[in-house]
């Protein structure tokens, strides 16, 4: 297998040991797209790879990766730099097989999705001559089914097998203190897609600011593995003994094929009184004291009809002023809530834009350091993120369809170029320029 090492050093390969198709025609070289499963739940991972069978030593001249409908979340599976060959027998014929381009796919919606074939051009040597040969694998269909109905309200969209813990920074605090409370979800499946859990706080304790999320996740044939850590900051407004209630969250267990609920115990916290913090809470308006003075004056002069009328008018005006400021304050609060909601939505959109910009920047950084393979990986992630962003904002601009078509073409070029030896650095820089141009157009969708 002397030609494989130099060509496949960029391809991730590792044998599954799955059974092979029995209806394959006898050919010197052929390939298939292999699915770990052909029927999965929405959100569940599926392992996908290209598999090659050959009778000869061969060298790869061209490669176009398989395509997947539906824009799923895709994670590349790392593997050895050199191909591993396994001898197999197909219809009595001896072959060597190896696997390439291993990926994890996550589909967010039910449906049937087409897996388009990959194409490969090779050169192999016979006893008489060198033969140029090109082959195309067969397409496959992946069925994605919905999760069972009646998911618990605390379902975190986790699919696989998980555990979780909840911890607080300190069990003894001072009134007014802000402390960190962490919820750590650990497991295998789609841990990277678990959403923020929800839990209650006792009266006198409030959430302070936004929560933070940290991911420590890797990927292998069993799915995403690792942990996702949510950090909440809570503030104690009153002193005394507080109990943060027990917390529950649910996920879908693939082995048991049902929703499983996990629980974390209640947390007792002792809060020491702070006079300084209490004085800040007691900053209330005292304007209504004037109303009592007016009432007393009215009682002293109730025998005088003229004064009573004047005082009544003044009291009425005072109440109108109070009502005006009350309604004005209420209106400002409602408007502030609406503005806060708009700000939050804008921050989410800006976060997506920042993610794309970061991926493009990292790709250029890898190019400067000669990391062509890493550069292509960042460009591919940037394109896929832009495809999702354009899809979610397609109702806002007329040019969204054109942007999707341009990005889809670049995605094919990017995936193909990643597995070729020639012109890699030059093509990566060209892709960088093209993606930057489209990114400028995409930012308009966020305005």
Q: Quick one: pLDDT at residue 411?
A: 81
Q: What is the mean pLDDT of residues 279-288?
A: 58
| Residue 135 CA from chain centroid, whole number | 36
Spatial CA neighbour of 112 closest among 141, 137, 85, 86: 141
> How do residues 185-212 score in pLDDT, each as one tens digit?
999 999 999 999 999 999 999 999 999 9
Cα(346)–Cα(340) distance, integer angstroms: 10
pLDDT attached to residue 307: 61
* Minimum mean pLDDT range among 2-6, 82-86, 140-144, 412-416: 2-6
Please give the pLDDT value at position 174. 95
Closest of 66, 47, 84 to residue 120, by C-alpha: 66
Portions of the chain given CATH number 2.60.40.740:
155-281
pLDDT at 241: 96
Q: Does the pLDDT value for residue 16 go beyond 80?
A: no
Task: Provide the pLDDT for residue 444.
Answer: 61
Q: Give the pLDDT confidence score for residue 386 in this predicted structure.
A: 83
The two three-digit tokens of residue 417, written as one number: 């170029």
More confident residue, 396 or 95: 95
Task: Pull the structure tokens for residue 392.
Answer: 């979610």
What are the tens digits of pLDDT across the range 159-190?
Answer: 999 999 999 999 999 999 999 999 999 999 99
Mean of the pLDDT values across residues 331-342?
52
- Where is pLDDT greater, at 352 or 6? 352
Q: Where in the chain is the domain with CATH 1.20.120?
A: 289-447
What is the spatial distance between Cα 371 and Cα 378, in angstroms, rounded to a whole number?
11
Q: What percent of the chain has pLDDT over 90?
A: 39
Q: What is the mean pLDDT of the chain?
A: 79
**In which region does residue 17 sit, left (phi positive, over 0), alpha (psi from -120 to 50) or beta (all else)?**
left
Q: Please state, in angstroms and rounded to a whole number, the distance separating the CA atoms of residues 247 and 251.
A: 14
Class of the CATH-defined domain 4-145 = mainly beta
Bridge-based pairing state of the strands 267-272 and 172-174: parallel
* Residue that wins the pLDDT comparison between 265 and 100: 265
pLDDT in tens, 126-162: 888 888 999 999 899 999 999 999 999 999 999 999 9
Q: Is residue 308 predicted with pLDDT exceeding 90?
A: no
Distance CA 296, CA 345 (A): 53
Neighbours of 121 (CB within 10 A): 14
Burial of residue 82, with CB atoms counted within 10 A of its CB: 0-12 exposed, 13-18 middle, 19 or more buried: middle
Between residues 112 and 339, which one has the greater pLDDT? Answer: 112
Least confident window among 7-21, 49-63, 75-89, 231-245: 7-21
pLDDT for residue 84 = 78
With beta carbons less than 8 A apart as the criterion, state whether 144 and 153 touch: no
Query: Phi first, then psi: what are they for 275, rounded to 5°?
Result: -65, -35
Q: Which residue has the higher pLDDT, 283 or 73?
A: 73
Asked whether the CA dihedral 241, 168, 152, 393 is positive or negative, the reply is positive
β-strand 58-64 against 67-68: which pairing, if any? unpaired
What was the pLDDT predicted at 254? 94
Highest mean pLDDT: which range of 216-220, 302-306, 402-406, 443-447: 216-220
- Reduced to 3 states, what is the DSSP secondary structure of residue 422? coil
When mean pLDDT is compared over 93-107, 233-247, 387-401, the highest value belongs to 233-247
Determine the Cα angle at 80 with ends 74 and 85, to 5°: 105
Using an 8 Å Cβ cutoff, are 11 and 83 in contact?
Answer: yes
Pair 146, 110: CB distance under 8 Å: yes
**Cβ burial 6-40 (10 Å sphere, 16+ → b, else e):** ebbebbbbbeeeeebeeeeeeebbbbbbbbbeeeb
Q: How confident is the model at residue 13 (pLDDT cuts 50, 70, 90)?
A: very low
> What's the rounded mean pLDDT across residues 97-101?
87
β-bridge pairing 223-236 and 178-189: antiparallel
Query: What is the pLDDT averaged over residues 338-355?
Result: 55
* Per-residue model confidence (pLDDT) at position 145: 96
Work out the percent of the chain whose per-residue pLDDT is above 70. Answer: 76
The answer to whether 388 and 349 have CB atoms below 8 angstroms apart is no
Buried b / exposed e along 399-412 (16+ C-beta atoms within 10 A)? ebeebbebbeebbe
**What's the pLDDT score for residue 431?**
81
Res 11 pLDDT > 90: no
CATH no. of 289-447? 1.20.120
Fold classified for 155-281: Immunoglobulin-like (2.60.40)
Higher pLDDT, 223 or 284: 223
Contact 215, 192 (CB under 8 A): yes
Count CA atoms within 13 Å of residue 131 on its CB side.
14
User: Greatest CA separation found in the chain?
Assistant: 129
Q: pLDDT, tens digit, for every residue of 242-279?
A: 999 999 999 999 999 999 999 999 999 999 999 988 88
Which residue intervals of 393-445 are DSSP H helices?
A: 400-417, 424-445
Q: In the prediction, which pLDDT does 81 show?
A: 61
Residue 346 to residue 331: CA distance in whole angstroms: 23
Three-class secondary structure of residue 395 per DSSP: coil
Assess contact for 394 and 442: CB atoms under 8 A.
Answer: no
pLDDT-based confidence at residue 359 (cuts at 50, 70, 90): confident
């Amino acid at each position: 297998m002397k030609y494989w090492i130099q060509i496949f050093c960029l391809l991730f390969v590792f044998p599954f040991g799955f059974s092979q198709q029995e209806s394959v025609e006898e050919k010197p070289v052929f390939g298939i797209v292999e699915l770990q499963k052909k029927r999965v739940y929405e959100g569940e991972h599926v392992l996908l790879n290209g598999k090659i069978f050959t009778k000869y030593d061969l060298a790869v001249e061209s490669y176009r990766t398989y395509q997947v409908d539906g824009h799923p979340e895709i994670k590349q599976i790392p593997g050895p730099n050199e191909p591993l060959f396994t001898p197999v027998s197909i219809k009595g014929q001896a072959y060597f097989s190896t696997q390439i381009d291993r990926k994890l796919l996550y589909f967010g919606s039910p449906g049937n999705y087409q897996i388009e074939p990959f194409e490969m051009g090779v050169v192999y040597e016979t006893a008489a001559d060198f033969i140029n040969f090109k082959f195309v694998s067969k397409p496959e269909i992946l069925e994605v089914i919905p999760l069972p109905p009646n998911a618990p309200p605390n379902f975190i969209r986790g699919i696989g097998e998980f555990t979780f813990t909840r911890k607080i920074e300190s069990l003894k605090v001072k009134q007014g203190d802000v402390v960190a409370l962490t919820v750590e979800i650990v497991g295998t499946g789609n841990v990277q897609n678990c959403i923020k859990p929800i839990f209650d706080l006792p009266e006198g304790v409030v959430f302070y600011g936004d929560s933070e999320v940290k991911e420590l996740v890797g990927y292998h044939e069993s799915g995403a593995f690792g942990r996702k850590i949510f950090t909440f900051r809570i503030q104690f407004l009153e002193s005394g003994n507080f109990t943060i209630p027990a917390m529950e969250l649910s996920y879908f267990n693939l082995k048991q094929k049902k929703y499983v609920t996990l629980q974390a115990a209640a947390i007792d916290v002792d809060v020491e009184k702070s006079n300084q913090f209490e004085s800040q809470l007691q900053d209330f308006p005292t304007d209504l004291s004037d109303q009592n003075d007016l009432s007393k004056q009215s009682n002293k002069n109730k025998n005088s009809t003229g004064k009573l009328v004047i005082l009544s008018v003044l009291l009425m005006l005072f109440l109108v002023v109070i009502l005006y400021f009350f309604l004005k304050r209420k209106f400002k609060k409602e408007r502030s809530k609406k503005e806060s909601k708009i700000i939050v939505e804008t921050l989410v959109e800006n976060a997506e834009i920042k993610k794309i910009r970061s991926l493009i920047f990292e790709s250029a950084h890898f190019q400067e350091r000669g990391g062509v393979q890493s550069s292509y990986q960042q460009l591919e992630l940037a394109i896929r993120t832009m495809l999702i962003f354009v899809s979610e904002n397609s109702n806002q601009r007329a040019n969204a369809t054109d942007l999707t078509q341009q990005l889809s073409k670049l995605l094919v070029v990017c995936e193909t170029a990643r597995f070729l030896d020639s012109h890699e650095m030059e093509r990566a820089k060209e892709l960088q320029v093209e993606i930057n141009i489209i990114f400028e157009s995409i930012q308009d969708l966020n305005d």
